[in-house]
A = this chain, B = another copy of it.
């Protein structure tokens, strides 16, 4: 089975000239989705970690399923104002303006080894901000995990974690 067979191109989304990689056909096929999560799990063999930091929103889908399969804690990183308890925040630059991400202050500490999961690595700005959030909490990032890497955007060069796991390169 090829995971790339379940990722389709949508032209001109979110704006003219961009070809968007749509992972919803992968979600719509239970065998392909399970294969994807099992592949991620198998590539994580030998890496010791106890928590999975999942990035809102599509990272929630893959990270939670991986958490269930691997019996690891699931720690959500959300957009500003969504998490109810005390948070650590980080702001980062987007193409236009800035965005803010938050994590619960009591969800991680210096004893935790975490992997960060998102569906897709693009420019790397979001994951780089999440790596910083995890470090602010005192925990250690032991791997960044993606289903897709848009290699032409060179997101890998922005990541500070040396271990990157990914299933499909475009």
Binding site for B on A (CB under 8 A): 8, 10, 13-14, 20, 22, 24, 27-31, 33-34, 37, 51, 54, 56-58, 60-62, 64-65, 67-69, 71-76, 78, 81-85, 104, 107
Contact A61 B33 (CB under 8 A): no
CA distance A104 to B65 in the complex (A): 22
Q: A31-B71, A34-B71 are in contact. List 19 more A-B contacts (CB 8 A).
A: A10-B84, A24-B104, A24-B107, A27-B64, A29-B73, A30-B72, A33-B68, A33-B74, A34-B68, A54-B61, A57-B82, A58-B60, A60-B64, A61-B64, A61-B74, A61-B76, A65-B67, A65-B68, A68-B68
Question: Closest CB-CB distance, A112 to chain B, in whole Å?
Answer: 10
Name the B residues within 8 Å of A104 (CB-CB): 24
Given contacts A24-B107, A81-B14, A85-B24, whether A30 and B71 have CB atoms under 8 Å apart is yes
Name the B residues within 8 Å of A33 (CB-CB): 67-68, 74
Question: Closest CB-CB distance, A53 to chain B, in whole Å?
Answer: 11
